[in-house]
Structure 1
Amino acid sequence: METCASCGTALGAGRFCTHCGQRVDAPTPPAGGGPEHTAVLELDDWRTGTAERPAVSGATAPRGVGAVPPPLPPVPSYDPAGVDAPRFPLFADQVEPGTLAPPPPDHPSDRGRRPAWLPWAVGGAVLLIVAVLGGVLLGGGDDDKQAPDATSSRPAGSTQPKPAGKPTPSHSAAAGESGDVARYATVQVPATAPPNQDVSGNMVRYEGRNMLDGVADTCWRMTGDGTGREITVTLDRPTTLTQVGMINGYAKSAVGAGGGTLDWYHGNRRIMAVEWSFDDGSSYSQTLEDTEAMQTIDIDPVTTRTVTIRLVSVSAPGTGRAARNNTAISDLTLVGTPA
């Protein structure tokens, strides 16, 4: 047979038509029949046949073979512009839109916790305060405030200075009335020690006017040895003087914090000799004793407006807790009659 009985295609060397797959020696199909009505012999096993066959529809598929399933729908492509659009299938890595979670709250134990350095800072401050107060209370203070009932070391029988308040600028010595005119005067001193605190924390000043207030436990003082220095007192008006004198040291003592007596008179330097000079050129020397009492000398009546006091001799500082390298005078007295 030269051509296929089914489709008329020229046959080759095989047993099947290369165009329609019809067996060469198969019976000729009835007239009007098509390939879809071609019977398949049981001996024609399509699974073992080697001839090429065209694809067949589901209606003409060989026995035992199901219809070819339709193709899967295309997977939608990824659109970068639509990041938030749903994807199919959904993936676990897709991030749901929303706000960030708030930070975790503080641990309850951290809310009331104090900084680790705070106890050390408080301890250091307390130690500093204790050191300062201890130094002052145990003798570091420059002065000790005398209690009202404290006893001093004045010798028995010595003359006590008569208290007198500080004068105001309106006070002046009455003409013709004899008396102590020192509290109405003004004074110039060679130097003044800086103010300090006593062991009770009270401020103590050592200005020159303390020599004119009539109070023994206040004083003028200067730092160091005052030998050769001069003090100038200017009276309120020309006055005829007949007596001069001084308390030649810091006449004050009190009981310290440790229970011992702080003797400021012997702790500071004391004036041992002075020279008194007046406007007429006259002068008088005075040697002073080791006593806290007022020491005076009588002079010939001299009318003057100024009195110059030269410190001829000054003692060394004392010893012990009250020792201070200061030259001190507690009070002056100038007795006379204003003109």
Structure 2
Amino acid sequence: MLPPPPSAARYPLFADDAPHLTGSTGAPAPSEPAHRSRSWLPWLAVPLVLLLVAGLGGALLLSGGEEPTEEAAATTAPTPQPEPPASAPVSPTTPAAEPAKPEEPADLARLAAVSAPVTAPASTDTEGNVTRYEAGNLLDGVETTCWRMPGDGSGTEIVFTLDGPTEISTVGLINGYAKTVGSGPRALDWYAGNRRVGAVEWVFDDGTVVPQELEEIRTMQATEVDPVTTTTVTLRLVEVSAPGQGRARRDFTALSDVTLVGVPLP
């Protein structure tokens, strides 16, 4: 028995179908797997876009962003602020604060200016030092310096000018040259040797005159006066002694210091 004839080859059948599977250029048609690779690209793009949007939102939150839009501001309730306390109304008739009380009375002679019509020339002391007798010596608070003038100074007026209106309550002076040089029998007592002032008058701007009698002592002699407001104080020499005796004798009228106690007025 003869073997069965071989089956017909299937290649020609596959080839007959070729025109439907290939393009005009003869390139093979894309396989099914390639078609599937293109189909998932849109699905991959969606999560990428979502991730990008989320990232931008987070960046804005972290950076603080710009000011909220009007819509956001309208939906956000403002934080209530405490109202400032109401201030008391200022009355136009409120009285002004009282000025500060004046200072306590003090010796203002150190702050005054002084002028005298006559001054003795300078001399040399026992140690060869030049000694001057200007009226400014009456204001330095030093007993061993003095103002002096030649001869009898009766009637002489020395004027003290204060630094503005002042209420004066006490005045006084050392009525001679309160200085002694050396000791023992050879001492030179310039207080006893020069002329001393025995009486004076203190004259103020309003015409008030306060007399003062003085003793033969070498210290400050002060007298109280009824408080008087003035800018100048005039010291008038009313009575002057004769010169002293001995080696210290000098024909000069002398004063060592002056005090003017009061309160400057505003």
Contact map agreement 1:271 1:314 (CA 8 A) in 2: yes
TM-score of the pair, normalised by structure 1: 0.47
Question: Match of 2:162, as an amino acid?
Answer: L
Query: Counterparts of 1:1-339 in structure 2 under 5 Å?
Result: 176-255=103-182, 260-339=186-265
1:199 is matched by which residue type in structure 2?
T
Secondary structure of residue in 2 paired with 1:265: helix
Aligned-pair CA distance for 1:261: 1.1
TM-score, structure 2 normalization: 0.60
Q: CA deviation at 1:254?
A: 1.7
Alignment-mate amino acid for residue 271 of structure 1: V
Give the count of matched residue pairs.
164
Q: SS of 1:206's equivalent?
A: coil
| Cα distance in 1, alignment partners of residues 158 and 235 from structure 2 | 5
Distance 2:138 2:243 in 1: 20
The residue aligned with 1:42 is none
Amino acid of the structure 1 residue aligned with 2:107 = D
SS of equivalent residue, structure 1 residue 192: coil
TM superposition shift of 1:177: 4.1
What is the rounded CA distance, in whole Å, between the counterparts of 1:207 and 1:238 in structure 2?
25
The match for 1:59 is: none
Return the offset for 1:178: 2.0
Q: Is the 8 A contact 1:276 1:285 kept in 2?
A: yes
1: CA distance, partners of 2:185 / 2:243 = 22
Q: Is the 8 A contact 1:229 1:311 kept in 2?
A: yes
The superposition leaves residues 128-159 of structure 1 with CA deviations (integer Å, 9 ceiling, x where unpaired) of xxxxxxxxxxxxxxxxxxxxxxxxxxxxxxxx
Q: What is the alpha-carbon distance in structure 2 between the residues aligned to residue 337 and residue 203 of structure 1?
A: 37
2:239 counterpart SS class: strand
Segments of 5+ residues of structure 2 without an aligned counterpart are 1-101
Deviation at 1:259, TM superposition (A): 6.0
- Report the CA distance between 1:195 and its aligned residue: 0.5
Name the SS of the counterpart of 1:306 in structure 2.
strand
- Two-structure CA RMSD over aligned residues (Å): 1.3
Deviation at 1:316, TM superposition (A): 0.2
Amino acid at match of 2:242: A
**Could you say what secondary structure the match of 1:320 adopts?**
coil
SS at match of 1:231: strand
Contact 1:177 1:338 in 2 (8 A): no
- State the 1:176 CA deviation: 2.8
Paired AA for residue 314 in structure 1: V
SS of equivalent residue, structure 1 residue 211: helix
Work out the CA distance in 1 between the residues paired with 2:213 and 2:132.
Answer: 27
- 8 Å CA contact 1:248–1:288 kept in 2: the answer is yes
Larger relative strand fraction: 2
- Structure 1 position 313, deviation (Å): 0.3
Structure 2 distance, partners of 1:201, 1:227, is: 31
In structure 2, how many angstroms separate the alpha carbons of the residues matched to 1:214 and 1:237? 21
Q: Which runs of 5+ in 1 are unaligned?
A: 1-174
Please say which structure displays the higher CA radius of gyration. 1
CA contact (8 A) 1:272 1:289 kept: yes
| Higher-RCO chain (CA-CA 8 Å, sequence separation at least 6) | 2
Cα distance, 1:268 vs. partner?
Answer: 0.2
User: Partner of 1:333: helix, strand, or coil?
Assistant: strand
For 2:105 and 2:182, how far apart are their aligned partners in 1?
Answer: 39
Deviations 1:182-204 (A, max 9, x none): 01001110200000110101110
